[in-house]
Structures are given as C-alpha cells and as structure tokens.
C-alpha cells in the first residue's frame, strides 16, 4: 500500500513539474515580441525559371540548369556550379540586371524570371544551399539561438527574404521590385503583430538589410511605426557603403568563393542595383580621402561618377546620380529605438592601389578598421550623424564586438551572446514597466 502511495506521489510530482515547465515556457514565449529577420546581400536563396525568351551566350548555358521542380524553377543562388569556370558565365548572365533608361527601373535579363521562396519563414535564410549546409550556413546559428529563448518559426519568428540584386530609389523614381518588398514587409509586420496579441515587432537586420529597414521605417507613417515597431536591431549595417564595393566594380570580387575568376562575374556585379547603393557615400566618407589610387589619378567617395566612367562602366553614371546619391543622403532618424551591433578591429579595405595593369588586375590594399567588409566610418555613420545625442528621445545604442567579422557576427558565440542579450533586454522593457505599474 505504501509503495502504491509513493508511486502516486511521484506521478503527481512529475505531472506538476511538467505542468510548471510548460507554464514557464508558455509564459516566456508570451513575453516575447515577434521578431522578423531581414538578411543582407546574398543572404537568402533565390530561384529562377527560364522562358522561351532566354537567349544564352553559348550551348552549354542553353543545356545546363540546376535541378528543376515540376514548374521549371531552380535555385539560382546559391548554385555550386558557379565554382566551375565553364558554368560561371551561365550563372553570371542569369543573375545580371539591366537598367532601362526609358522605364527608369531595373529588370531581369530577357527570358529569366526570378522569385524568392518561403517569404515569412526563416527557411531560405538558414543555408544558401540546403544540400551544402556546412559551407553555405548563413543565419542557422542565429535562428537556433533565438529558438533557445522561445522563438518559433512561423509563430513569433519570421523571415523577410528578398531579391538582393535590386535596391530602392528615391521619391519620383519607379522601383517595382524593391517597393513590392517594402509592401510585403509591411504586411508581414502587421500579421506578426496581430498573431501575437498585438505586440509590437522587433526588426533584426544584417548588412544590406539594415539599409532596407531604415528606408522602410522612414517611408512608413509615424503613427504606424508607433503602433507596430518595438525596436530595430541592425547587425553590421553599411550605412555609408564600403570601399570594398569600389573593388567589386573595378575588378570584380569572388566574395570569398574559391576558384572563381572575378572578371567573369564583374559585369554581373556591376549590374546589381544594390551594389551601386553600397558604393562609399559622399555624405559619410571624407572628400579628402582617396579610396582608389592609380598611376595617373585618384578617386574619393565624391568622385564616383568619374570612377565609373574610367573603369569602363559609363552606363552606371545616370542611375547613380539620379537614384543612388539622393538615397544615400537620407540618414534620417526614424523615431524608433535602434541598436547597432557590429565587429571592429578586423582588417578592412581602406585604400586600393592599381598599377600599370589597370583595373583587370586585383589591387594592392591598405587596410584600416572595420569588420572586414564595412569600414568603421560607415558602421558608425548614424552615431556620427548625431543620432546618439542627448536631445534625442530615441537614442541610438552601439555595441562593438572586437575581432568579429561581417559574417561571423551571425555565427560566433561571443556575437550571438551579445545579440540574444540585446533581444532579451528589448523584450524585458515592457515586462519591467508592467511590473512597476502593478
């Protein structure tokens, strides 16, 4: 009889502990504000489909595509075939954008349709190629860390992937792809809030995603921001562009992908509207600081138009002047609390020296401070613009993490601890105020 009572007591204790654990987990989840991840340049999968209008440059490109689904869609980014020289050209011509001066907008190559899959989910942000998870990991570690504190994909955690080749344009200029993304992001914010009891949303961006979010907030009515946005956390945001982009336009860049000839992807990289957006901003970089030096001349951030002409890309001058320059000058406070988290103390391209071989050769580089991709002056641009002054009712918070690079901020433990710590703090603000009022 005594043993039966003990068994019953143990069963009741186990049930009580299970109920308490479930209650605690539910309680923690109920305190979390919904969170949306906005990736950086190249930070989500991109799919394509070829139509009868597609005119490949050679027979190989006509015959080759990645594995298609029943409707003809295949993964364009990331496609491991780019590593093989014969296929690099096929990849580049399918990724290339074209600026139409009559429409004043960018579009895909003829016969190439593109789409972003799994909008609203984090799935296409985890790995750029799910079959090569080990070498194409992007936000998987960050998402795992968020799940450990109670976030769940599709419930209170969402992803906002986009076609990162496109950018945005200032008022008065059409921008179909970029504007559609902003509309979709607005809808996602409202859905995330309403499905979580009306809680305001935390926006967490990486790299280029920060520029999109800044524009998104400034283009949204103040009353809407106050109703729906809790906080904006920007990781490694290139507020003022990067010197690295001048190398991309001049000589092409493999972006760390081995075996790729940068000259084979240079034209495609030049065609990217977002790459033009990421050029060093004349509003952030000094007019006196030469960023590119050749035997005959030099170029600062205030001489980008001459630089584009001299590297052999004159077609980039008009969209740069009319669409990019007005955009990069708009570092307007959003009246939304913002936290900037980025690495420092990592060698970052500061001055590029080209010899007699011209721009077809990779330059010698003098390095300065930054996160390995974005220069410190760009990472600090919002604070330098006065966002952190004492008169602001929405001050900026800056967290520097020594030794953390532009991409390792999404993976390294020390960075993830800082990011999760800030998210926990943002989530606790409301809970603390509720306790005080009670």
Buried b (16+ CB within 10 A) or exposed e, 191-218: ebbeebeebbbbbbbbbbbbbbbbbbbe
What pLDDT does 267 receive?
A: 96
Name the pLDDT band for 392 (thresholds 50, 70, 90).
low
Of residues 427 and 30, more confidently modeled = 427
Greatest mean pLDDT range, 15-19, 59-63, 233-237: 233-237
Look at the block and give the residue holding tokens 């990069």: 328
What pLDDT does 60 receive?
A: 84
Cβ neighbours for 23, distance < 8 A, ≥ 6 positions apart: none
Give the span between the Cα atoms of 438 and 155, in whole angstroms.
28
Query: What are 238-261's pLDDT values in tens digits?
Result: 999 999 999 999 999 887 676 778
Question: Looking at 31-154, which runs of residues are DSSP E strands?
Answer: 35-38, 46-50, 74-77, 97-100, 105-108, 112-115
What pLDDT does 256 receive?
A: 67
Query: Vertex 167, ends 165 and 169: CA angle to 5°?
Result: 155
Token reading at 333: 């406070």
**Which of 321-335, 384-398, 420-434 comes out lowest in average pLDDT?**
384-398
Give the span between the Cα atoms of 80 and 86, in whole angstroms.
12
Cβ neighbours for 360, distance < 8 A, ≥ 6 positions apart: 251, 263
Average pLDDT over residues 350-355: 98
Give the span between the Cα atoms of 351 and 353, in whole angstroms.
7
Q: Give, as one character, the DSSP assignment of residue 203.
A: E
pLDDT at 225 over 60: yes
**Which of 111-125, 269-283, 319-333 comes out lowest in average pLDDT?**
319-333
What pLDDT does 333 receive?
A: 87
The pTM score is 0.91
Q: Where do the H-state alpha helices sit in 298-349?
A: 304-310, 317-319, 325-328
Domains of the chain: 34-241+333-346+370-437 (3.40.50.1820)
How far are the Cα atoms of 73, 154, 194 from residue 147, in angstroms, in the given order?
A: 31, 12, 21
Name the pLDDT band for 393 (thresholds 50, 70, 90).
low
What pLDDT does 12 receive?
A: 42
Query: What are 7-51's pLDDT values in tens digits?
Result: 444 444 344 334 333 334 444 567 999 999 999 999 999 999 999
Average pLDDT over residues 159-166: 98
Q: Are 177 and 166 in contact (CB under 8 A)?
A: yes
pLDDT at 364 over 70: yes
**Which of 22-31, 206-215, 337-346 comes out lowest in average pLDDT?**
22-31
Nearest to 374 by CA among 336, 342, 341, 340: 342
pLDDT at 379 over 60: yes
Say if residue 38 is exposed, middle or buried (CB neighbours under 10 Å; 0-12, 13-18, 19+): buried
Active-site residue set? 207, 371, 406
């Amino acid at each position: 009889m005594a043993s039966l009572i003990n068994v019953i007591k143990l069963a009741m204790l186990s049930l009580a502990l299970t109920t308490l654990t479930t209650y605690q987990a539910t309680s923690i989840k109920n305190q979390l504000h919904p969170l949306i991840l906005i990736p950086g340049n190249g930070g989500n999968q991109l799919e394509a489909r070829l139509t009868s209008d597609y005119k490949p440059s050679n027979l190989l490109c006509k015959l080759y595509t990645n594995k298609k689904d029943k409707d003809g869609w295949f993964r364009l980014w990331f496609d491991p075939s780019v590593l093989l020289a014969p296929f690099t050209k096929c990849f580049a011509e399918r990724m290339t954008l074209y600026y139409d001066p009559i429409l004043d907008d960018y579009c895909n190559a003829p016969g190439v349709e593109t789409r972003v899959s799994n909008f609203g989910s984090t799935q296409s942000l985890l790995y750029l190629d799910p079959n090569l998870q080990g070498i194409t990991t992007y936000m998987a570690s960050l998402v795992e860390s968020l799940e450990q504190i109670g976030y769940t994909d599709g419930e209170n955690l969402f992803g906002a992937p986009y076609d990162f080749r496109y950018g945005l344009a200032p008022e008065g200029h059409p921008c179909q792809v970029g504007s559609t993304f902003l509309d979709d992001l607005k809808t996602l914010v409202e859905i995330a809030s309403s499905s979580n009891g009306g809680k305001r949303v935390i926006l967490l961006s990486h790299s280029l995603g920060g520029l999109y979010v800044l524009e998104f907030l400034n283009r949204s009515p103040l009353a809407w921001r106050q109703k729906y946005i809790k906080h904006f956390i920007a990781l490694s945001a290139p507020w003022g562009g990067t010197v690295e982009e001048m190398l991309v336009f001049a000589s092409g860049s493999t972006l760390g992908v081995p075996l790729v000839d940068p000259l084979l992807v240079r034209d495609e990289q030049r065609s990217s509207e977002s790459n033009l957006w990421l050029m060093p901003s004349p509003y952030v970089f000094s007019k006196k600081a030469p960023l590119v030096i050749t035997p005959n001349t030099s170029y600062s951030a205030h001489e980008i138009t001459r630089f584009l002409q001299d590297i052999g890309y004159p077609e980039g001058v008009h969209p740069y002047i009319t669409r990019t320059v007005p955009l990069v000058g708009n570092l307007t406070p959003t009246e939304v609390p913002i936290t900037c988290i980025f690495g420092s103390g990592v060698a970052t391209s500061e001055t590029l020296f080209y010899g007699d071989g011209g721009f077809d050769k990779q330059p010698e580089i003098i390095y300065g401070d930054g996160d390995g991709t974005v220069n410190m002056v760009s990472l600090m641009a919002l604070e330098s613009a006065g966002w952190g002054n004492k008169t602001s009712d929405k001050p900026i918070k800056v967290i520097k993490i020594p030794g953390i690079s532009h991409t390792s901020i999404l993976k390294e433990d020390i960075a993830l601890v800082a990011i999760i710590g800030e998210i926990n703090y943002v989530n606790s603000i409301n809970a603390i105020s509720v306790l005080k009022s009670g």
